[in-house]
Amino acid sequence: MSKNSKVTIEDVAKKAGVGIATVSRAINNSGGISEKTKAKVLQAIEELGFIPSIAAQSLKVRSTYQIALAVPDIRNAFMPEIAWSVEQAAKHHGYRVVNINTSGIGQIELETIRDVKKLHVDGLIILPLAYPKNFVELVNKSPVPISVINYGKKLGPDIKADVVCMSQQEGRLAMEHLLSIGRTRIGYAGAPKDIIEERYNAYVNSLAHVDLSLVYFGEDFSLSTGAKAADYFKSLKHMPDAVYAGNDMVAIGLINRFKELGVRVPEDVAVVGIDNNIWTTLTSPQISSVSIMGAEVSRLATELLLKRIREPSKGAYERVQFEPRLIVRESSVKMKRSTVYLD
């Protein structure tokens, strides 16, 4: 039946044989109503073509049924998976998602938290990159609940937010894999080391000696950085026999440029990235990568936020840690005396 804006909530209550408050609880997915009664109300809504007024609901329960998602850069191939998972989890509970790009700039991250009320949302999910020094202070003062998708930083117990962590071990897994397949001259390519510094630190900590001539820092974690890194490594008198790329976009740029330069992957140089974005399986060769479980992390962050919105004063703040997973593909297979199972 087509929706009818002239049908009122009173009409729905009458048809379902319940009170107006019960209809409201069914619409808002609130407690205090059985599944059988809720189903009866929803059936009446469908049959009458009733359109709940979001504005009216917002006035009654002081809710906008919207949440915000703030990420560093939605153009990064890893971020759409985050955004999609948040949107699907929110939609399941009747919420919309407002997307914000912070460009990984500390001031914008702070402004997003400070001005969150101006966005007319009930809560915020933020994936910080800069982690400015008064980040925790502003989170604790936020007028709406916040879930933090934590990307490697250590956040103390004083933060008043649910925190879902992507593990800091992704870089270690990448380096352990390259060492295990017999590569001894391993390079690093990525953004400046103070951006997601744990990834570069994993490179340093995995080696007995760091040859800085094998380290390339670009402006960011992009295809361009990867391509420029390939040019740099090819210019060396002794090229690396493997490269640990700070993310998959760098790895893709690196491999594409290596092809143009006549460098074979993995025969001459093995390559491993991080994030396991969709493009890693569409390249040739397919790229080994460490999954940091982005879909699972973002889905849980959304569920925790919506629970906090419904019951803001109940329960301790959650701290959940997800572990990464190495996925070996063609770009880093062991070339001799070993059987390698590809993903």
136 in Cβ contact with 159 (< 8 Å): yes
Q: Could you tell me where in the chain the CATH 3.40.50.2300 domains are found?
A: 66-167+293-312, 170-291+327-332
In degrees and rounded to multiples of 5, residue 228 shows phi and psi of -65, -35
139 in Cβ contact with 116 (< 8 Å): no
Alpha-carbon distance of 104 to 110, in angstroms, equals 11
Beta strands (DSSP E) in 52-93 are 66-71
Q: Could you tell me where in the chain the CATH 1.10.260.40 domains are found?
A: 9-61
Neighbours of 186 (CB within 10 A): 23
149 in Cβ contact with 298 (< 8 Å): yes
- Letter for the amino acid at 322? F
Q: What is the DSSP letter of 5?
A: T
Handedness of CA 16, 19, 20, 25 (dihedral sign): negative
Task: Name, in order, each residue with C-beta under 8 angstroms of 269's C-beta and a sequence gap of 6 or more.
Answer: 233, 239, 240, 241, 242, 243, 258, 263
pLDDT tens for the chain, residues 1 to 343 = 445 557 887 888 899 998 877 887 787 766 667 888 888 988 988 888 887 665 445 444 567 889 999 999 888 778 888 999 999 999 888 889 999 999 989 999 999 999 998 888 999 999 998 888 899 999 999 999 999 999 767 788 899 999 998 877 889 999 999 999 999 999 999 999 888 788 999 999 999 999 999 999 999 899 999 999 999 999 999 999 999 999 999 999 999 999 999 999 999 999 999 999 889 999 999 999 999 888 999 999 999 999 999 887 778 899 998 889 999 999 999 866 444 445 5
pLDDT of residue 35: 85
Q: Tell me how far apart the terminal alpha carbons of the chain are, to the nearest angstrom.
A: 47
Which CATH class name applies to 66-167+293-312? Answer: alpha beta
pLDDT of residue 27: 77
325 in Cβ contact with 290 (< 8 Å): yes
Task: Name, in order, each residue with C-beta under 8 angstroms of 317's C-beta and a sequence gap of 6 or more.
Answer: 159, 160, 161, 162, 163
pLDDT of residue 191: 92
- According to DSSP H, which parts of 147-288 are helical? 170-180, 197-205, 223-235, 248-261
Run of H or E including 309: helix 294-310
Q: Is 158 helix (H, G, I), strand (E, B) or coil?
A: coil
- Please state whether the predicted TM-score (pTM) of the whole model is above 0.85: no
If you count DSSP H runs as helices and E runs as strands, how many of each does the chain have, helices first?
A: 12, 12
Q: Candidates 1.10.490.10, 3.40.50.2300, 3.90.1150.10, 3.40.50.1860; correct CATH number of 170-291+327-332?
A: 3.40.50.2300
Q: What is the DSSP letter of 120?
A: T
Dmax over CA atoms of the chain, in Å, equals 83
Task: Name, in order, each residue with C-beta under 8 angstroms of 154's C-beta and a sequence gap of 6 or more.
Answer: none
The packing angle between helices 197-205 and 170-180, to 10°, is: 30
25 in Cβ contact with 94 (< 8 Å): no
CATH architecture of 9-61: Orthogonal Bundle (1.10)
Alpha-carbon distance of 110 to 70, in angstroms, equals 11
Alpha-carbon distance of 55 to 335, in angstroms, equals 63
pLDDT of residue 133: 87
Task: Name, in order, each residue with C-beta under 8 angstroms of 186's C-beta and a sequence gap of 6 or more.
Answer: 175, 178, 179, 203, 207, 214, 240, 241, 242, 243, 244
Tokens 């912070």 -> residue? 102
